[in-house]
Structure 1
Amino acid sequence: GEIDGYSLVLSPAMIGVSNILGLLTADGSRDEVEVMDEIGSHGGVTASAAYSNGIYALVGEYTTHEELLDLTSFFRKIESIEKTEVHQTIGPIGTQMELSRMHLRVLKPLLHEPRLSVVAVSKKSGLTARRVRRLLNQLEESGAVRFQALLELGAANSIPFLARVTWDEKIANYQEIWDWIVKTYPLSHWQTFVSATEPVLYSLIAMESLVEVNEVTRALRKNEKINSVKALISKYHKFYPSTTRLKLVEMIEEAYPDPPD
C-alpha cells in the first residue's frame, strides 16, 4: 500500500462525530463496484470497499442516534445485501478548540495542498512564517485538525486485507492486541478499527503476496490472547467526502469567501 494523498479534516471532537465500521454480506448477484458505489452514496459514509466472499466494508460517521439508525437502515435496504454487521468504533477523537480567523487563514491554502511548506503557507496567507508556524503548532498540539492519509491500498503490487481478530477478554484487552499488531507489522499495518460493543477488531494490513497474508494470519492465531482470525482480501476501495472535511471547508469559506487556494 501507498499514501495517495492527504485530506485536511476536523477532529471528531470538534463537531461531535462518532464513527462506525460496517461489514455487509451480499449474495453475489450484483457488480461489486456498483454495490460499493451505492454504499458510498450515503452522506454518512466516508469510505467503502469490496472484499472477498461477497463482503463489503465501510467507514461511516454520525452525530445523533437518529443518523445512526438512518445509516444502518440504508444498508439493510440495498439490493443483494443479505446481512449487516455494524460496530461503533473506539479511537482518538481529538479535542475541541475554537478556531480563530487566523487559524482558518493558515488552513485555507492547506485545504487542497496539505503538503505545503511553512514558507509557502506564509506567502499564500500573507502572514509571517513565524506566525504561521506558531498557529500550526497550536492546531497540532490541540488535535483539533488532522491530516488524514488517503491510502492507495493496491499500489506497488501489494495485497490489502482486513484481519478480523477476536480475543479472550479474561486475559487481554483491545489495546494489548492493537499494540501487538502495530509492533509486529509496523510497515504493513495501516489502520485498526476496534468495536466498542464486543471483543473484535479489524486491522487493515497490506502484504506483498498471499503467502505473506497467510503468514500474518497464522502468526496472529499463535498469539495466546487471540481466539480467532479471519482474513478478507480487498478488491476495490473508494473514499468519499466526510462531515469533518465538509464542515472545515464551510468554516473556511465563511471566514474567507474567496475560493480556497
Structure 2
Amino acid sequence: MFSESFSRKDLVINTLMNSILIVLLMPKLDHIDKQIVSILASDCRTSYREIAKSLGMSATAIKSRVDDIVASGLIIEFIVEFAPAMIGSEVMLVWLKTDAAEDREQFISDISMNKGVMQISPLYGGDYLVGAEYTSSLELAALSEAFKSNPHVSSTEMHTILRPRGKKTSLTHLQLRVLKALLTDARMLISDISRETGLTVRLVRKTLRELKESEAIKFGLRWHLNVGDRVTVLLRLKWDPKQASRNEITDMLLKNYQDELWEILPSASDPILMVAVTVDNMNHVDTITAEIKSHPGILYSEAFIYRPSHNYKSIKRLRLEEAIQAAGI
C-alpha cells in the first residue's frame, strides 16, 4: 500500500491498508503464501524473480503460487494510487451502532455517498465498520457529522489509523503516462506498458524505477479474504499505557502469534489495536483471546465477525486519476 521500505514489523502492521479486516473466511495459505501476499501488498510490482530470491525459491514456483492465490479469489486486483503524503490524507476506522430499524442495503448506500468512504463492513449483530479517508479537519468533521446525523445511527466510535505516509513530490508528464497505463492493471508487464504508451521498454523501466524511489506512489492490491475455509478474526485490543507501550504490545503479538497474525492496525489517538488473525476454528480464537487478556498490559480483547464488505475508490486513487486527466493524457 505504501512505497517505502518496510521492516518486518512495519510490513505486518501495514499490509493491506485498502481492506479493513473483521471476521473473514480465507483459503488455507501456508507460511510462504502469506509472505508472498505480504510482499505484493507492500509493492505489487515486485517481480517473481525478486520474490523468489528473497524466499529462496524459483521464479516459476512463485508465479504458480501467485496464480493460485489470485484464482482463489483472495486477491481481487492489483492497484496503483497516490501515497498518503501526496494528498495529505489520513485513514480512519469507524464503528457505527444503529437502532436495528434500518434497511441494510439502503443504509450502506446512504453511508457510501459520503466523500472519503472506502469500505463498509456490516457486522454480525447489527453494527457496521466503516473505513474512510480524509484530507483535512473539515473533511473529518463532515464525515463525523454525516455519520452521527444518520437517523439510524445511535453511536459512533472513530479511530485514525497509523501507517506509513510515503513522500510528496511533483510527477512528470512521462511518469503520468506510465501511471495511466497501470490504472487498469498495476502489475502490467513492462512490454505491455511500452506498447500502450508508445515508450521504449528501457524508458518505461527507468520511469517505474523513479516512481518507486520517489515513494509518492503506492503499488498495492485489493483483496477479498472471505473465501476458503479458514476464519480470520479482528481482535480489538485496549491496553494500559502505564503498564505497556504500543511497541511492547505489538512485539508480544508478533512473537506469540507469528502463524496466526495477519495485520495490526494501531489507533493514532487511543491505546487500541485492531488485530487480524487467521485460525482454523473459533475455539482457537477463544484461546488466543484468553492468552492476550492474560498479558499484564491488556485491559480487554474483543472479537468481531462481519458480512462481506462493500468497497469504493480511495481519495488517493481518485486524485491520481484527476492528475492524469488534468495532464491531458
TM-score, normalization by structure 1: 0.89
Q: Deviations over 1:71-110 (max 9, x none)?
A: 0111012232111011122211111011111111111111
1:21 pairs with one of 93, 99, 105? 93
Query: 2:150 maps to what in 1?
Result: 78
Distance 1:215 1:66, change over 3 A: same
1:9 pairs with one of 68, 81, 85? 81
SS in 2 for 1:29: coil
Whether the aligned pair in 2 keeps the contact of 1:189 and 1:204 (CA below 8 Å) is: yes
Give the deviation of 1:33 after TM superposition.
3.7
Query: 1:108 maps to what in 2?
Result: 180
5 Å-filtered alignment, 1:39-50, equals 39-50=111-122
TM-score, normalization by structure 2: 0.71
Is 1:200 aligned with 2:272? yes
Query: 1:240 maps to what in 2?
Result: 312
5 Å-filtered alignment, 1:213-224, equals 213-224=285-296
Between the two proteins, the alignment pairs up a number of residues equal to 257
Distance 1:158 1:26, change over 3 A: farther
Q: Which has the higher strand share?
A: 1
Distance 1:134 1:178, change over 3 A: farther
RMSD of Structure 2 on Structure 1 (CA): 2.1
1:88 pairs with one of 156, 160, 169? 160
Query: 2:232 maps to what in 1?
Result: 160
Whether the aligned pair in 1 keeps the contact of 2:124 and 2:307 (CA below 8 Å) is: yes
Q: Deviations over 1:145-196 (max 9, x none)?
A: 1123212121113433321111121243223333443555556544432212
Is 1:97 aligned with 2:169? yes
Query: 1:252 maps to what in 2?
Result: 324
Distance 1:180 1:134, change over 3 A: farther
Whether the aligned pair in 2 keeps the contact of 1:220 and 1:226 (CA below 8 Å) is: yes
1:136 pairs with one of 208, 213, 222? 208
Is 1:226 aligned with 2:298? yes
Give 1:75's aligned amino acid.
F
Distance 1:169 1:78, change over 3 A: same
Give the deviation of 1:143 after TM superposition.
1.8
Give the deviation of 1:219 after TM superposition.
3.3
Comparing 138-147 and 217-226, the one that deviates more: 217-226
Distance 1:118 1:71, change over 3 A: same
Comparing 210-219 and 83-92, the one that deviates more: 210-219
Give the deviation of 1:29 after TM superposition.
2.1
Q: Which runs of 5+ in 1 are unaligned?
A: none
- The CA distance in 2 between the partners of 1:198 and 1:59, in whole Å, is 17
- The CA distance in 2 between the partners of 1:222 and 1:175, in whole Å, is 18
Give 1:41's aligned amino acid.
M
Whether the aligned pair in 1 keeps the contact of 2:175 and 2:207 (CA below 8 Å) is: yes
Give 1:129's aligned amino acid.
V
Give 1:218's aligned amino acid.
A
- The CA distance in 2 between the partners of 1:59 and 1:119, in whole Å, is 36
- The CA distance in 2 between the partners of 1:203 and 1:243, in whole Å, is 25
Give 2:274's aligned amino acid.
Y
Is 1:54 aligned with 2:126? yes
Give the deviation of 1:68 after TM superposition.
0.8
- The CA distance in 1 between the partners of 2:173 and 2:305, in whole Å, is 45
Give the deviation of 1:214 after TM superposition.
2.4
Comparing 144-153 and 99-108, the one that deviates more: 144-153
- The CA distance in 2 between the partners of 1:19 and 1:7, in whole Å, is 17
Whether the aligned pair in 2 keeps the contact of 1:19 and 1:62 (CA below 8 Å) is: yes
Give 1:232's aligned amino acid.
F
Comparing 106-115 and 130-139, the one that deviates more: 130-139
Query: 1:172 maps to what in 2?
Result: 244
Query: 2:189 maps to what in 1?
Result: 117
